[in-house]
Chains A and B, each alone.
Chain A
Amino acid sequence: MRIALFLTCVNDLLYPDTGKAVVRLLERLGHEVDFPESQTCCGQMHANSGYRAEAVPLVRGFVDTFDRYDAVVAPSGSCVAMVRESYPRLVPAAAGVATRTYELSELLVDVLGVTDVGAVFPHRVTYHPTCHGLRMLRLGDKPLRLLRAVEGLDLVPLPGAEECCGFGGTFAMKNADVSTAMLADKCTAICDTGAEVIAAADNSCLAHIGGGLSRRGAPVRVMHYAEILGGES
């Protein structure tokens, strides 16, 4: 299967290792991965902040870039939710590609039928199911099934996992105090698990959580779960 990687702008600039891990993982599973270089940003920040007119050209750009692929995969629950849930309302021509755009765990579990990707990661890990993956894409336990199959990985439950970390895109800036209060509770819950690694399906949420953990000097590493599944062997 020829799969296009929609990396997302946040990952391109700040977290290229997540993209490299997705490529490594899919190639290891025997698939061809393409990275069309005309991709930029999905426009979620614009659309969710009240700048629909500014988001529409980005939606069109996404359709032009990805419409020719059988499947598009993105290591971001939030950006995939934007494409699948909001694109068809913004640009009707996006309806087709929207249904063929998958978050990584959806592609692996639902489309490719894989749960054991042959990864090894001998660490204690806890998982934060980010809001859009949980409540818009309904990823359910797909990422957890993938992580449970990783050799050596000790998956510990995160109390209050379904609660938002307080990121919310521009919310983190516009309502910084409330965002910080939410983050404090999330960081405490993570630290209390005793995990070495907090994993999630969204690097933007992880940037928020990681920023909070790093500020309090907590010895917990943040990692996109793709980097666990597609780690260098």
Chain B
Amino acid sequence: MTLPHGTGHLAGSRPFPAAAHVELGKPQLRANLHKATHTIRNKRARVVEELPDWEQLRLAGSAIKANVMARLPELLVEFEAAATAAGAVVHWARDAAEACEVVTRLVRETGTDEVVKVKSMATQEIELNQALERAGISATETDLAELIVQLADDEPSHILVPAIHYNRSQIRDIFTERMGDAPAGLTDEPRVLAEAARLHLRRKFLSSKVAISGANFAIAETGTLVVLESEGNGRMCLTLPETLISVVGVEKLLPSFSDLEVFLQLLPRSSTGERMNPYTSTWTGVTAGDGPQNVHIVLVDNGRSATLADEVGRQALHCIRCSACLNVCPVYERVGGHAYQSVYPGPIGAILSPQMTGIEANKTLPFASTLCGACYDVCPVRINIPEVLVHLRQAAVDSRRDKPSAERTAMKAMAWVMGDRRRYARALRAARRGTVPLERVLRRRTVRHLPWPMSAWTASRDAPLPAPESFRDWWRRTR
């Protein structure tokens, strides 16, 4: 059985190298990214080092998630039953379109055309804001950075700090131009900018009848949803409106409430570099006379079952969206999130997006890594990202087996040469003979220009020429 792939904001039209080329041409972006990723990376390292049982926590997190993936169907049924018993209404969505339909219908049924939103990757993945807009419903992002990105009519470039590509003077300009009620004479002082956003959002919180959230965790045993945030905007959305709609990926489940003990340590330290998360909200269905009285939960698949079916790749579903891997990734640091053309950028995006969409729609992402392994080292649930990248590269190559390819011809030829010591020794000598005239002309052992495909190397790097005598010839001659 082929499982349906994910739709929504998970793939773009350009190959990664082409998209990266554009982003690399933005010096301000590079400077912002360097500063921000290094700041968070160092902060994380400090708070992780101080925990003596960090490795045990990682192992526990990984084991709990592996257990969830092995029992996902039964845990989902358990969650649905518990949440329903607590007064929530559970909806199921196969893909982005179905999830957007459900949410749009639920909002329409309330009669409102204005909703406030808690920062959520799942709703960005399904492109909910665009769907709501088409239905005449305006959605306001209430996380400060998401608000900045929304006002700028831009896309997030980081999972946790979506406006990482802006600095504060750029944010001042966005507020001044785009936020209708921004005070005159706004400076780029962080405190001033935050206050302007706070006043703008306060009006929205007090008037909105519907809030839309995601969830960091969903507890199967109790039917509880959990949201972690830092600004208190989430708490406002989760408590003030009459109706609360939460869009949750099916992989967010944890078996029991006590499992939070592990994840509430792993997540804040990995994501923001904080010892404890500032605002952790949990809610279980409806509580009479307290908080939203209409609680909906939309469980979304959107390619997750297809990912779960892959023995090597399924570990990507363990991701808790901390973004530690983005902050240490040397590729992400140079190009930012937009180059990945998916709501999930960086190393985790490079293994998650191609699995959710199917490799055909995201052929170049698995190659957007040097396999340096920094991501695996910091992952709080020990996702072996380099292993999955290599696995997906294999899938990408296999998907093109029937098409002619210069790369495959070269790879096969090299494997043939390397497969036999005599062929290999002859090839070494041929390489040397072929480059002797070049070396005589250049009078050095490096070359500045080589023809395609080696021109990709020599565009920015000198290339070494073969040594006058290979090691094996030296060994034969002298031993």
Contacts and interface: CB of A to CB of B under 8 A. Distances in A.
A61 B24 CA distance: 42
Interface string B348-368: 000000000000000000111
Nearest to B476: A37
Interface string B436-479: 00000000001010000110110111111111011110111001
| Most chain A beta-carbon neighbours within 10 Å: one of B366, B394, B407, B464 | B464
Given A168-B372, A171-B369, A180 B461 contact: yes
Contacts of B415: 43, 46, 51, 54-55, 57-58
Contacts of B462: 210-211, 214-215
Given A37-B475, A132-B373, A135-B374, A176 B464 contact: no
A211 B471 contact: no
B457 A211 contact: yes
B466 A20 contact: no
A50 B393 contact: yes
B439 to A, nearest CB: 13
Nearest to B411: A51
A69 interface: no
Given A174-B17, A211-B462, A11 B471 contact: yes
Interface string A183-205: 10000000000000000000000
Interface string B150-174: 0000000000000000000000000
A17 B418 contact: no
Interface stretch (B198-206, B249-257, B329-337): B329-337
B372 A131 contact: yes
Interface in A161-176: 162-164, 166-176
B92 interface: no
Interface string A57-69: 1100100000000
Contacts of B456: 172-174, 176
B379 interface: no
B263 interface: no
Interface residues of B, number: 66
B20 A177 contact: yes
Interface in A1-54: 7, 9, 11-17, 19-20, 35, 37-41, 43, 45-52, 54
A14 B17 contact: no
Contacts of B109: none
A180 B459 contact: yes
A37 B415 CA distance: 17
B419 A61 contact: yes
A228 B459 CA distance: 31
Interface residues of A, number: 64
A181 interface: yes
A223 B412 CA distance: 31
Which of A7, A9, A12 is packed against the most chain B CB atoms within 10 Å? Answer: A12
Contacts of A181: 24, 30, 334
Contacts of A214: 446, 461-462
Given A50-B398, A58-B418, A173-B456, A14 B466 contact: yes
B372 A16 contact: no
Contacts of B30: 181
Contact of B396 (A50, A55, A169): A50
B472 A12 contact: yes
B449 to A, nearest CB: 11
Nearest to A211: B461
B382 to A, nearest CB: 13
B191 interface: no
A63 to B, nearest CB: 14
A136 B21 CA distance: 30
Interface in B288-340: 330-331, 334-335
Contact of B371 (A39, A131, A174, A180): A131
A70 to B, nearest CB: 20
B472 A182 contact: no
B240 interface: no
Contact of A54 (B376, B412, B467, B476): B412
Interface in A143-175: 162-164, 166-175
B217 interface: no
B134 interface: no
A212 interface: yes
A42 to B, nearest CB: 9
B403 interface: no
A135 B368 contact: no
A12 B469 CA distance: 9
A93 interface: no
Contact of A131 (B16, B373, B393): B373
Contact of A164 (B330, B368, B479): B330
Contact of B393 (A48, A167, A176, A183): A48
A208 interface: yes
A112 interface: no
B2 interface: no
Contacts of B432: 13
Contacts of A171: 367, 369-371
Interface in B105-160: none
B377 interface: yes
Nearest to B416: A54
B397 interface: yes
9 tightest Cβ-Cβ pairs between the two chains A and B:
A168-B370, A211-B461, A50-B397, A50-B393, A135-B373, A54-B415, A16-B471, A164-B372, A131-B372
Given A51-B415, A166-B330, A173-B454, 16 more contacts: A16-B470, A20-B471, A35-B475, A37-B425, A38-B421, A51-B412, A55-B415, A57-B419, A132-B373, A162-B374, A163-B374, A177-B17, A178-B17, A181-B30, A211-B457, A211-B464
20 contacts: A13-B432, A14-B465, A16-B474, A19-B474, A20-B471, A37-B475, A48-B390, A50-B396, A51-B412, A51-B415, A135-B372, A168-B372, A171-B370, A177-B20, A178-B17, A178-B335, A210-B446, A211-B462, A215-B448, A215-B460
